[in-house]
Structure 1
Amino acid sequence: MMLLAIFLLGVCHGRKGLGQLESKKLNNYNQENAENPHQTGKGHRNCSFFREKSRSLNKMATSCSEIYQKGCKQTGQYYIRLGSGRKIQVLCDMDTDGGGWTVIHAHGVTHPEDFRCYNNPVIEGRRCRNAVVKANWNSTWQEYINGFGEIPKELGESDFWLGLENMHEITQEGRGSEARIELYSWGKRSWAKYGTFNVTHQDYGYTLKINNFEDNKDIPVRNAFAGVPENFLCRGRNCPEKRENRKNSKQNGQMFTTKDRDNDNYCRPLGYKRDETPIYSEENKACELSYSNLNCAIEEQSGFWFNSCSAVNLNGPIYRTNPERERQKALPAGMIWATWQKQTSLMFSSIKLRPKNHHA
């Protein structure tokens, strides 16, 4: 009995010693990874914390940038805390241009061969292997406030709009936000960056303030939000003069417009007569003669920060080719960045935000 007791005591001590050793190794591993964040990545146990909605609110990150700074550098779905105390799921791009980007918008397909499945996810009775979950961009004011679509694990899997209220809260955090906008045509890929991207409160129509433009030197796209001087966007019989066209297509500083909330400057009357007949300025006199629709969102079949109407609309319908649009004159302009591809609809676009003080 004495020998059995000694044997069992030794086994217990051995197991305890092994547990202490493993715990020490694990602590050393976590400490090393904390000191060397570049070694963390896929499957790192600490990063799962930011993927769980149930975590304590005061311990949640406020941006993808903060998650990146903590060493979690795998692109994917995470939860963040907004200033109002709400938790939302977001797609974090941890790979592009120093990482730390919170994706607030994605629209379209990242490969031309997937476009057929984008419009028809089920072809000949079979669901397309690379079918993108398509969103309804011709949505209402409240839907654009709340957000819609599915948050994907990576770009190109689904359309989504994070919501105007979420965008407002994100851009109010800390020292403000910078933006990176990805643009894919049917043959090229490029981008634009803005040092300032701010969406105001609902009381101000979720006005967009976007400044400090930075172009892609290799494939310049130019600043579409500043407007275009060309008249190719005008469809009326009496198009404005060249000097007026840039003013009419400048979208920085515009409120958001949807099919049921008209905040744009498209044929906006000076006032109304007693019989509710609109009164136009002399320069907009053509509106009462040529235009039956006075809302850019209805004209373009999507909500956006329109002026009258747009040189850029990243929420517009997608068309495979410009000739297709020319054959069907009733089609809207599409998903355009007019300073780069003029009237040709893009294939894909995304908008990403991160704090101005982000450090890769």
Structure 2
Amino acid sequence: MKRSSYCTLLVLVGVLAVLAQDTFPDVKLVGINASDKLSILQGHPGTPGAPGMKGEPGPAGLKGDAGIPGKVGVTGEKGDTGALGATGKTGQRGAKGDTGPHGNTGNTGVTGDKGSKGDKGEVYTMCYGVAKNCKDLLNMGFVLTGSYIIYPDGKKPLMVLCDMHTDGGGWIVIQRRVDNSVDFYNDWETYKRGFGNQMSNFWLGNENIHRITSTGKYQLRVDLEDFENVKASAAYDDFRLEGEKAKYTLRVGSFTGGNAGDSLKQHNGKPFSTKDRDNDDDDNKSPCAVSFIGAWWFASCYHSHLNGEYLIGKHNLEPRGRGVKWNGFRTSPYSLKLSEMKIRPSAT
């Protein structure tokens, strides 16, 4: 009986050993010998314990490969213009361009305020003898261009501007225009006695010109310049003015040369006209002196008019013939920059 029970126990132990391998992984069997009793030291697993504390985060993983680019989205609306950026550095200076064409002449500006009176200039006077003209002064050794006193009739003195350089010198300047600082739209009496400043713009005076030219034969030279700095001249072998009773009629001789051409012979034999003395040949209601704003030996009306309104070169004013004019040099509508009329005794 004991042996049968022992065998049964061994079988049971064997079964338990097999079951222990599948169900109780940590079961240990103690006392397998015949004299030992079987003891089971570990039973079924107990209830799971509470979860342990969360472990520390592991290190960051390596960066993955870039994904495939997505599709381009729809273009958004244009944003507002940003603020101006800082000014960039100045670039290198470019090459000089070609000179552009002359623009149209602008309208005549408003007359400026009258300038202050200048210091009194020096007058060249003679210490001996009496000079009737600038040619006499030149022969006496006065070689500087400037203002001198002459005695045309040997009695009454007259201050004149002597040009001692042009074409041999010895010229009495009777008219000069260089700018618009002196108004030439004057009446009969003003042109009779003369006006202006001999260092800039002036008219010597019809009575003075008559006094000088009545003492002998005089030649005339006209010097001109336009606003493109082109110079021209015209010369005549005889020039004189009759007296006031004859309305200071012009007597001019033959044209002897000059690149300005002859624009004075058409005025030969014509009386002088001003805005208050209409002596021209034109039958129009408006006198030439009024229409063209000046004074001259008008015919119908002019081929030259050096006492006209001072304008700047080409203009669009009406009538188109306004300005300082000499048609043989520059035709209308154009006003000259400079004019000088000068006389000296003809060579004998």
- Structure 1 runs (4+) deviating above 4 angstroms are none
- Separation (CA, whole Å) in 2 of partners of 1:84 and 1:161: 22
TM normalised by structure 2 equals 0.61
- Separation (CA, whole Å) in 2 of partners of 1:345 and 1:139: 19
The structure 2 residue matched to 1:221, chosen from 248, 260, 284, is 260
- Separation (CA, whole Å) in 2 of partners of 1:78 and 1:96: 17
Kindly state the Cα deviation for residue 102 of structure 1 after the two structures are TM-superposed: 0.6
User: 2:327 is aligned with what amino acid?
Assistant: A
Query: Which residue does the alignment assign to 2:22?
Result: none
User: 2:220 is aligned with what amino acid?
Assistant: A
- Alignment root-mean-square deviation, CA: 2.0
- Separation (CA, whole Å) in 2 of partners of 1:330 and 1:195: 33
Query: Mapping of 1:155-166 within 5 angstroms?
Result: 158-166=200-208
Note the residue ranges of structure 1 that are not aligned, 5 or more in a row.
Answer: 1-47, 110-117, 119-133, 153-157, 227-249, 268-286
Q: List per-residue Cα deviations over 1:162-191 (Å, max 9, x = no partner).
A: 0001101111123x1001100111120010
User: 2:219 is aligned with what amino acid?
Assistant: E
Query: Which residue does the alignment assign to 2:192?
Result: 145
Query: Which residue does the alignment assign to 1:338?
Result: 327
User: 1:67 is aligned with what amino acid?
Assistant: L
Greater relative contact order structure (CA < 8 Å, 6+ sep) = 1
Kindly state the Cα deviation for residue 332 of structure 1 after the two structures are TM-superposed: 5.0
Q: Is contact 2:306-2:326 (8 Å) kept?
A: yes
Q: Greater share of helix residues, 1 or 2? A: 1
Percent sequence identity is: 32
- Separation (CA, whole Å) in 2 of partners of 1:321 and 1:164: 28
Q: Is contact 1:89-1:151 (8 Å) kept?
A: no
- Separation (CA, whole Å) in 1 of partners of 2:281 and 2:184: 21
- Separation (CA, whole Å) in 2 of partners of 1:51 and 1:75: 10
Query: Which residue does the alignment assign to 1:82?
Result: 152
The structure 2 residue matched to 1:350, chosen from 331, 340, 344, is 340
Note the residue ranges of structure 2 that are not aligned, 5 or more in a row.
Answer: 1-121
- Separation (CA, whole Å) in 1 of partners of 2:146 and 2:318: 40
Q: List per-residue Cα deviations over 1:305-332 (Å, max 9, x = no partner).
A: 111100100001122232x3x2x32565
Q: Is contact 1:301-1:332 (8 Å) kept?
A: no
Query: Which residue does the alignment assign to 1:178?
Result: 219
Q: Is contact 2:313-2:336 (8 Å) kept?
A: no
Query: Which residue does the alignment assign to 1:306?
Result: 298
User: 1:335 is aligned with what amino acid?
Assistant: V
TM normalised by structure 1 equals 0.59
Secondary structure at the aligned position of 1:77 is classed as strand
Query: Mapping of 1:183-194 within 5 angstroms?
Result: 183-187=224-228, 188-194=230-236
Query: Which residue does the alignment assign to 1:329?
Result: 318
Equivalent pairs counted in the alignment come to: 225
- Separation (CA, whole Å) in 2 of partners of 1:136 and 1:321: 18
Query: Which residue does the alignment assign to 2:281?
Result: 265
Secondary structure at the aligned position of 2:182 is classed as coil
Kindly state the Cα deviation for residue 147 of structure 1 after the two structures are TM-superposed: 0.2
- Separation (CA, whole Å) in 2 of partners of 1:142 and 1:332: 25
Q: Is contact 2:292-2:319 (8 Å) kept?
A: no
- Separation (CA, whole Å) in 1 of partners of 2:246 and 2:236: 21
- Separation (CA, whole Å) in 2 of partners of 1:315 and 1:86: 27
Kindly state the Cα deviation for residue 84 of structure 1 after the two structures are TM-superposed: 7.2
